[in-house]
Amino acid sequence: MGRLEAKVAMVTGAGGEHGLGRAIAQRFADEGADLILTDVIPTGLRVSSATPPGAWGGVDAVAEEIRKRGRRAMTAIADVRSVAQIEKVVAGALAEFGRIDILVNNAGIYRAAATVDVTEEHWDAIMSINAKAVFFASQAVLPTMIAQKRGAIVSLASMAGKIGSRNNLPYNASKAAVVSMTKSLALAHAADGIRVNCVCPGFVETDMWTSVAREQGKLMGLTPDEFTRQRAVTVPLGRMERPEDVANVIGFLVSSKSGYMTGQALSVDGGLVMH
């Protein structure tokens, strides 16, 4: 028996070929869960990939991987910024599966800029996806979880939510907001049997990292490869992070094995941030 046998889990931002969402969905399916996979466009926002455009099947390809593991999967294209679209996904998921036990707020975007160059559009773009949507997607599943008297919500914060850095102020603030919302949601719904936690990854090699290395490298006069090499040597555990490193911890956080944990912001970063 897997740790998530008979559980139904919804993962946002699950369509990327190299993304954390895909790894989380695979981990959950390996543990026995059925999946609701959403993304803003069918293939996920691909900033760069060795795979030619059109060759990656996005949420449908991830759903196929889940079905090959013997689990059920449904897909939905929805923009997490739209409360109406997320509510529609939740309604569709309930019609299909009859319950939602787990929500992973994974969808997110990254942008870098020197503080003097941060525009209102940059701020709003980051905050609406990385912060606002985490609250409203959580709110959308709460009535179901309250009625079930059981549920687990895990959001993707970041080491950026715990520390400062020069060229990422809106991103850092959005991830600190995720840590804060995690604590308030956990307190508000502990008595309902709902646990709410977040994870704080470090330098994970995904499509997003390609943006991080390109944008931050440019601001620092480094090529993306130079930037990545410079960052990698600062990791105490000695290597860049893999999506599976994060997915394994989330698999634990949504299982009964972490049944006495709520309101936590768990660092999964190779030792970069120790609080």
Ligand X SMILES: NC(=O)c1ccc[n+]([C@@H]2O[C@H](COP(=O)([O-])OP(=O)(O)OC[C@H]3O[C@@H](n4cnc5c(N)ncnc54)[C@H](O)[C@@H]3O)[C@@H](O)[C@H]2O)c1
Q: What is the DSSP letter of 132?
A: I
- Give the helix ranges, DSSP H, for the chain: 20-30, 58-68, 83-97, 120-127, 133-148, 169-189, 207-220, 224-232, 243-253
Is 260 among the catalytic positions? no
Distance of closest approach, residue 258 Cβ to ligand X, in angstroms: 19
Q: How far is the CB of 44 from ligand X (least distance, A)?
A: 3
Amino acid letter, 27: R
Cα–Cα distance for residue pair 47/99, rounded to 1 Å: 34
The residue number whose beta carbon is nearest to ligand X equals 108
Give the Cβ contact number of residue 171 at 10 Å. Answer: 24
Closer residue to ligand X in complex, CB, 2/136: 136
- Cα of first residue to Cα of last residue in the chain, in angstroms, is 34
Q: How far is the CB of 237 from ligand X (least distance, A)?
A: 15
Question: Which entry of 97, 171, 209, 227 is annotated as an active-site residue?
Answer: 171
Of 156 and 266, the one with the shorter C-beta distance to ligand X is 156
Closest to ligand X by CB, 60 or 192: 60
Which burial class, exposed, middle or buried, applies to 234 when counting CB atoms under 10 A from its CB (0-12, 13-18, 19+)? exposed
| Pick 146 or 273: Cβ nearer ligand X | 273
User: What whole-number distance in Å separates Cα of residue 166 and Cα of residue 153?
Assistant: 30
Write out the DSSP string of 32-93: T-EEEEEESSTT---S--SSPTTS--HHHHHHHHHHHTT--EEEEE--TT-HHHHHHHHHHH
Instruction: Specify the residue, 88 or 150, whose C-beta has the smaller distance to ligand X.
Output: 88
Pick between residue 80 and residue 176 the one whose CB is nearest to ligand X: 80
CB of 35 to ligand X, least distance (A): 15
User: Smallest distance, Å, CB 214 to ligand X?
Assistant: 13
Q: Is 225 exposed, middle or buried (CB count within 10 Å of its CB: 0-12, 13-18, 19+)?
A: exposed
Shortest CB 135 distance to ligand X, Å: 14
Contacts to ligand X by CB under 6 A: 12-13, 15-16, 18-21, 39-40, 44-45, 79-81, 106-109, 129, 156, 158, 201, 203-204, 206-209
φ and ψ at residue 119, rounded to 5 degrees: -95, 165
Cβ atoms < 10 Å from Cβ of 158: 29
The CA distance from 98 to 116, in Å, is 49
Residue positions annotated with a catalytic role: 171
